[in-house]
Chain A
Amino acid sequence: MTTTLEVKVWRGKEDGGFVSYEVPRLESQTVLDVVTHIQRNIDPSLSYRYACRVGMCGSCAMNVNGKARWTCRTHVSKVASHGQLELAPLSNLPVVKDLVSDMTEFFDKWARARGSFQGAKTRHEPFALVEPESAQRRAADAGIECIGCAVCYSSCDVVSWRPDFLGPAALNRAWTLLNDVRDVAGVERVMAVSGDAGCHACHTQGSCTERCPKHLAPTAAIAGLKRLSVTMLKRQK
């Protein structure tokens, strides 16, 4: 283990550049610890986001040595074998400042994919009974733990090529809702996620699944959406 880390950090907006900092190397140090050290001890003007520090809130994601990662649970030992780190804001999103990305478009796409639950029952009706072992609930459970960190969105080449593409997280969210037996907006949701800006634009390259820190598989969710869209197409005939 080296005694110091050479850390290059993106400073400024889209037209900014990398600035080098020397940070003490510590035992069990995370990448978020490194960024926090820079802000608290070297340059207080450095902007970055975090909240929970334990991999729940999804706010601390950034590009670490070229790959999008959640920094609170990424140990330096895993990514900086030669004592060097390069930290940049997430790709495919506008830069607000330094390591802070503008997440507006990312979450707007969740809304465009009809990512909100729509039930038909009221509080006066009995609880819905959902069988945990049913195929639909298992499919929903497989994608439900998304923390909205945008690591998948930042890693997706299709988003880079076609900025209107909804992206893996929004499509994964739509898939979990389509497998929620209480939800009643299925047809509208399939329509919202179909077509050239939706699931059919996905090339199944699998970067989202490879990089997802929660080990979810948006690629599988997108494949499910494609199958569902064809089922719907046949029903329309």
Chain B
Amino acid sequence: MSTPLTQVRLWYWGRISSMVLAFCVLVHLAVIIYAVRGGLSGAEVLARTHGNLAFGLFYTVFVLACAVHVPLGLARIVREELGWSERGANLFAALSALLLLVLGLRSVYGVVLA
């Protein structure tokens, strides 16, 4: 079983990542609304994002914040709603983090560098 200090650390990272996400989600929504308003096609969006390092950096931060925040929340949900053990919930959270990291960073790579 993890120690209370580890649990406080995880809670703290959950809070910090939620602050990052609050900012990232707002920017993300604003970018979507701005991009769609002018009727940009997918190809036109990709043409603008390709090679844009600021765009790549922003979404890398977004993905990292998701990979921290979402697994912590999922672990809490499976423990409280499904009654999973701490060990099972932690394993599930670690796998979720890995999945989010791989899929998220691959998407950033695809949109910015590929």
Comparing A82-90, A146-154, A225-233, the segment that makes contact with chain B is A225-233
A196 at interface by CB-CB < 8 Å: yes
Contact with B along A186-230 (1 / 0, CB 8 A): 000001001110101000000000000000000000000010011
**Chain A residues positioned under 8 Å from B7 (CB to CB):** 194-196, 200
- Asked if B9 and A191 make an inter-chain contact with CB atoms under 8 angstroms apart, the answer reads no
A121 at interface by CB-CB < 8 Å: no
Contact with B along A162-193 (1 / 0, CB 8 A): 10000000000000000000000000000100
Chain B residues numbered 65-79 whose CB sits less than 8 Å from any CB in chain A = 79
In the bound complex, what is the Cα–Cα distance between A162 and B78 (angstroms)? 11
Q: Closest residue of chain B to A193, judged by CB?
A: B4
A127 at interface by CB-CB < 8 Å: no
Q: Closest residue of chain B to A192, judged by CB?
A: B4
**Binding site secondary structure of chain A:** helix
Contact with B along A24-40 (1 / 0, CB 8 A): 00000000000000000
**Chain B residues positioned under 8 Å from A194 (CB to CB):** 4-5, 7-8
**Chain A residues positioned under 8 Å from B4 (CB to CB):** 191, 194-195, 198
B34 at interface by CB-CB < 8 Å: no
Contact with A along B1-39 (1 / 0, CB 8 A): 011110111011000000000000000000000000000
**Chain B residues positioned under 8 Å from A3 (CB to CB):** none
- Asked if B5 and A233 make an inter-chain contact with CB atoms under 8 angstroms apart, the answer reads yes
**Chain A residues positioned under 8 Å from B8 (CB to CB):** 194-195, 200, 229-230, 232-233
Which of B5, B9, B11, B79 makes the CB contact (< 8 A) with A162? B79
> Chain B's nearest CB lies how many Å from the CB of A213?
27
> Chain A's nearest CB lies how many Å from the CB of B75?
10
Q: Which A residues fall within an 8 A CB radius of B?
A: 158, 161-162, 191, 194-196, 198, 200, 226, 229-230, 232-233, 236
Subset of 26 A-B contacts with CB under 8 Å: A158-B80, A161-B80, A161-B81, A162-B79, A191-B5, A194-B4, A194-B5, A194-B8, A195-B2, A195-B7, A195-B8, A196-B7, A196-B79, A196-B86, A198-B4, A200-B7, A226-B11, A229-B8, A229-B11, A230-B8, A230-B12, A233-B5, A233-B8, A233-B9, A233-B12, A236-B5
The 9 lowest CB-CB distance pairs between A and B, nearest first, are A195-B4, A195-B7, A161-B80, A194-B4, A200-B11, A229-B8, A194-B8, A196-B7, A233-B8
